[in-house]
Structures are given as structure tokens and as C-alpha cells.
Amino acid sequence: MKSNVPPTPALPKRLSLVAQTEKSLREGIRTGHWKESLPGERELCEYLQVSRRTLRAALGELQRTGWLEVSQRQRRRIRASRAALPAAVQKKTIAVLSPWSFQALSMPMTFVMDALRDKLAKSGCVVEFHFNRACFSAQPARALAKLVDSHPATVWLVFGSKEPMQRWFIGRRLSCLVAGSCAPGIALPSVDVDYRAACRHAGGVLWRKGHRRLALVQPQDAYGGDVDGEEGMRESLRGLPGVHFQVLRHDGTAVHLCTLLDDAMRAPSPPTAFLVARPMHVLTAMMHLLRRGLRIPQDVAVISRDDAPFLQSTSPSTARYATNPAVLARRVFMAVRQLAETGTVPAQAIRLMPKFIDGETV
């Protein structure tokens, strides 16, 4: 007897990261991105944003299915029969340029990158990750030209960029989105946290708590959001009676940061509150102040301008500003997709207001 019950639809299959890596490698071979052999494992891991274990599994599968062959010098050569295959639908390439390796990214930024890569892959884009410190120097033109000419892309998404790099992309008229803040006078689209508003809010919080001697702690190599944040805090304190505000600019090392804190606390009128940029520097500052015998917040208050998972586990709990990484990834994706599809996007600054998470340090 024939059943009238319709067949059960097949469940959707989620591709494993190994399968996605294998697919990306095949696309690179088909489109001629790699012609004779693949680069080394370290370069491929950075490029594809995967672990060496995942990469080796994908490479093993490509070797098993005849896409690659291993030479006596352990180089993975591309088989000519595979390299000659016609490319499928030409995909748009989104090149991510970063001054930090993928392994060195903070946990929130790693989440943003993973979510962004997933969204872009679903929209039919190929994501390339480039870690190149030379492109972030004071004179990046030669390094940028070499990278861009050898890796053509539909859109360049740059992290941690400064004015020289931003002006170079404008001069070359390349589609570029700044993940961060632009230097004054730079007409590039950008997506960043609203550090100006956050620091302005922090100044008001500390003022209402009775603090009149405040310090902002941030790297001396400040740029983009750091500059905006400093101006925001100055705005919040401008015109208030009895306020003394200073900026402690450190070189990024714990030794220098602790030295600056010691100098500030030995002053005739030491700060009673600190707003600290970068989570790792917040941890250094709090531990050093506690080691000096200062109680937090009874003797000195601390607010973190940024968030990180480990700040949720400090004791006392750290007051901080947090941005939802999923929201940040979505806004970056929307801007990148518009650039990829239309070739243009308004040169506007998209700013996300972080949420203040009250803690026991203020």
C-alpha cells in the first residue's frame, strides 16, 4: 500500500573547518592563486586563519584526491591536470590586513574574524588574511605595493591602520574599509567603537564618584580611537572646578607602565582614579597598585576602557566598557559587502557605543 506521507527532507549538513579549508585551497588552485606549489604551512595557516592541525588534515585530503603531490624536498606541488581546471564562478576576494598574526589577536577580535569569515563565505566571498608588519610602518608604500600587486582583492579590510597607510589606499583608489578609526582628514569608510563617547562617559562617572585627580593610561603610540578617547575625556572634565587631568603614555611594556604609575603616585597630588586602555594594561595597572598597598577602590579607582573575558573574573570585579563582538562583526560585514557589490560606500565613520559594566573598582 502506497503511503501518502511525504518523504522527510534531508537534514542540512554543516561543513567542518577541515572541509572549508580544503575548499579554500582548491579555489586558490583553480583560480591560479597558487601556480606550481603551495607555500609553507606557517604562511598557509596565517592566510587561511586555521590551526596547523586543521591545515594538515585538509592538505592530506587534497593529496589523497590527487590535487597535490609531495616532492622529495617535502614541497607540496600542484598537479598540472588540476591547475588547468577552469575556475568556477569567480568569487570576490576580501583581503584582511593586520599588524598582528591571527594567533596574536585578542579573543574578542578572534570572534569578530571568525564571524566575519563565516558571513562572507556564505555571501560567496573568499577571505584572505595577511599579517605584514612592514605595511604598518611610517613609510609603508613599498610593502603595501608589493602585497597589493601580488594579491589582488575586491576589498581591503585593514586593522590597526594609521595615517600613512590610509593615505596610500586613497592614493591608489582601492576599495578599503578601516576596521578602526581614520586619521583626521582621511575620507575612508570606517567601523569602530565610539571611544570618544565611552571616555566622556567615564570622566562623568569618576567625577560623580568624587574624583578630582584623574589619569588616562594608554600607549604612547596612540592612534585613531585612542586619540578620540583622550579628547572625549577632556571634554567631560572641561570647565569642572578643581579637576587635575593627566595622560600617562607608556611604551607598551609592563616595566614602563609600572614606572609611570610609581611616578604619578609619588607626586604631591597623585591621581585617585585611572581610566586604562587595553585589557592587559588594566591587569598590569591593578596588580601594581595593589602591590604598592593601595586598595581598589577605597584608595584609587580603576576603569577599563575595553573589555576582555578575563576581566569578568577579577576580584574586585572590574568596571569596564564592553562592545558586543557579534554586532561589531555584523556592521563590518555590511560595509564590506556593500563595497564588494557596488565598489563604493559612503566615507562615513560608523561608531558603536559600548555598554558600561559597573564593577567594584569604582
Place of cell 593586520: 98
Whole-angstrom Cα distance, residue 159 to residue 183? 13
The grid coordinates listed for 38 are: 603551495
The share of the chain scoring above pLDDT 90, in percent, equals 57
Q: What is the mean pLDDT of residues 305-314?
A: 93
pLDDT-based confidence at 72, cuts 50/70/90? low
Q: What share of the chain is helix, strand, coil (3-state, %, to 5)?
A: 45, 20, 40
Q: What is the mean pLDDT of residues 316-339?
A: 93
Range of 49-53, 150-154, 241-245 with top mean pLDDT: 241-245
Same topology, domains 18-83 and 195-322? Answer is no
Amino acid at 269: S
Spatial strand order in the sheet of 176-179: 125-131, 92-98, 155-159, 176-179, 190-193, 349-352
pLDDT-based confidence at 224, cuts 50/70/90? confident
Domain 18-83 sits in CATH 1.10.10.10: yes
Burial class (CB in 10 A: 0-12, 13-18, 19+), 25: buried
Domain map (residue ranges) of the chain: 18-83, 195-322
Whether the CA torsion 157, 159, 163, 164 is positive or negative: it is negative
What 8-state DSSP symbol labels residue 225?
H
Q: What is the mean pLDDT of residues 322-328?
A: 93
Query: Could you report the per-residue pLDDT of 137-156, keeping only the tens digit for each?
Result: 999 999 999 999 888 899 99
Q: What is the mean pLDDT of residues 50-54?
A: 87
Q: What would the CATH number be for the domain defined by 195-322?
A: 3.40.50.2300
